[in-house]
């Protein structure tokens, strides 16, 4: 029942966003029954290709809670997350995703993310983006510097 | 030759970031021979799990150029991008990625993104995150609202 309330809020954010010229996507993040963040797609409004509803909601939730770790939070998104948002959800340690529409529904109205899933699964030379290794023997020095620290936490 | 200069800048950003408590990752975005954006990993500093060097550089480049479309830009990153950053690179329409270290090198010092590649490739029920469909018949209304617009551009 409460799940429906949060999902309806995410859907409402998506519909309201369309009215102001944004993409039809909304997301809500909830922790212990409290809404921590709400966001709609802001790619065009903010000139930010990473401002998908889920990424923006994660950033807002982290700001609100003062942490980069959203363990124990649940995300309600009006549409199944794209690979970028899915990556962000994993890095944020969110462990449950409620979604409304499917990625295929988004594809039907012109928002296609399936190509990214296909691209990510391919080896570098077969991708449409060029991947070129450069100065690996110098780049490794950054990892050595980190590895030499006394106190280090990965995240 | 110029490629080396930009990559060395990305590596320097990564090494400098370690000195101030950040993760060992840096990125530079270049367009027509001009540096448009520079960023280092800010996950801990900014309490933002999406603040990987590549995502932050993309956001900065878009702000600098006043667009959400980085076509014609090249990204130099001190380490091969994770799936989140790769998704962001696709959405930003960057078409060339120069990378220094490999994802496997990052894994060796505790920054593992390989699990995300594996997770993304799995069907929902096999993922470690729970994916639950909810109210799809209501969520589709956001897409109908968008599809009914006279002028619409996907991105």
Structure tokens given for A80: 């199944």
User: How many CB contacts within 8 angstroms connect chain A with chain B?
Assistant: 295
B32-51: burial string, b at 16+ Cβ within 10 Å, e else:
eeeebbbbbbbbeebbbbbb
Render pLDDT for B27-47 as a digit per residue (tens, 0 to 9).
999 999 999 999 999 999 999
Cα B46 to the center of its chain, rounded Å: 16
What average pLDDT does range A83-91 have in this prediction? Answer: 97
ipTM > 0.90 for the complex: yes
What average pLDDT does range A31-44 have in this prediction? Answer: 97
Whether pLDDT at B3 is above 80: yes
The arrangement of strands across the sheet holding A34-40 comes to A34-40, A26-31, A73-79, A96-101, B130-133
Q: Which residue of B has its CA nearest to A2?
A: B134
B93: left (phi over 0), alpha (psi -120 to 50) or beta: left
**CB atoms A88 and B84 under 8 Å:** yes
What average pLDDT does range A48-62 have in this prediction? Answer: 98
> Residues of chain A with pLDDT > 90: what percent?
95
Whether pLDDT at B140 is above 80: yes
Please tell me which of the candidates B100, B116, B154 has its beta carbon nearest to residue A134.
B100
Catalytic annotation, pick one of A2, A12, A16, A54: A54
Can A16 be counted among the known catalytic residues?
A: no
Contact indicator for B72, B45 with CB cutoff of 8 Å: no
> Residues of chain A with pLDDT > 70: what percent?
99
Q: Give the residue from A51, A134, A147, A149 with the most B CB atoms within 10 Å of its CB, the best one to mutate.
A: A134
- Residue A151, pLDDT score: 79
The neighbour count for residue A91, using CB atoms within 10 Å, is 24
Whether pLDDT at B4 is above 90: yes
Name the average pLDDT for chain B. Answer: 96
- Residue A39, pLDDT score: 98
Instruction: From B100, B3, B81, B14, select the one nearest A135 (Cα to Cα).
Output: B100
In angstroms, what separates the C-alpha of B102 from chain A's closest C-alpha? 8
What average pLDDT does range A27-34 have in this prediction? Answer: 97
What average pLDDT does range B37-60 have in this prediction? Answer: 98
Render pLDDT for B112-132 as a digit per residue (tens, 0 to 9).
999 999 999 999 999 999 999
Among A89-103, A132-146, B107-121, which is the least confidently predicted range? B107-121
Which of the two residues, A152 and A78, has the higher pLDDT score?
A: A78
Render pLDDT for A64-81 as a digit per residue (tens, 0 to 9).
999 999 999 999 999 999
Q: Give the residue from A9, A49, A80 with the most B CB atoms within 10 Å of its CB, the best one to mutate.
A: A49
**CB atoms A68 and B48 under 8 Å:** yes
What average pLDDT does range A137-154 have in this prediction? Answer: 90
Whether pLDDT at A104 is above 90: yes
Q: In whole angstroms, how far apart are CA A18 and each of A79, B44, B97, B149?
A: 14, 34, 33, 9
Whether pLDDT at B155 is above 80: no
- Residue B74, pLDDT score: 98
pTM (2 d.p.): 0.96
Q: In whole angstroms, how far apart are CA A14 and each of A5, A80, A131, B93?
A: 14, 13, 35, 24
pLDDT band at B151 (very low <50, low <70, confident <90, very high): confident
Catalytic annotation, pick one of B12, B38, B54, B133: B54
- Per DSSP, the three-state class of A31 is strand
Instruction: From B66, B64, B7, B9, select the one nearest B36 (Cα to Cα).
Output: B64
pLDDT band at B150 (very low <50, low <70, confident <90, very high): confident
């Amino acid at each position: 029942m409460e799940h429906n309330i949060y999902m309806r809020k995410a859907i409402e954010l998506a519909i309201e966003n369309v009215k102001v010229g944004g993409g039809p996507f909304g997301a809500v993040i909830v922790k212990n029954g409290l809404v921590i963040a709400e966001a709609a797609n802001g790619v065009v409004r903010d000139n930010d290709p990473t401002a998908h509803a889920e990424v923006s909601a994660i950033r807002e939730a982290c700001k609100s809670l003062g942490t980069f770790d959203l363990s124990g939070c649940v995300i309600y998104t009006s549409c199944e997350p794209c690979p970028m948002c899915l990556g962000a959800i994993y890095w944020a340690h969110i462990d449950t995703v409620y979604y409304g529409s499917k990625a295929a529904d988004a594809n039907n109205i012109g928002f296609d993310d399936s190509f990214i899933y296909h691209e990510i699964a391919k080896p570098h030379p077969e991708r449409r983006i060029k991947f070129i290794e450069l100065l690996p023997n110098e780049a490794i020095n950054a990892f050595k510097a980190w590895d030499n620290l006394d106190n280090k936490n990965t995240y």
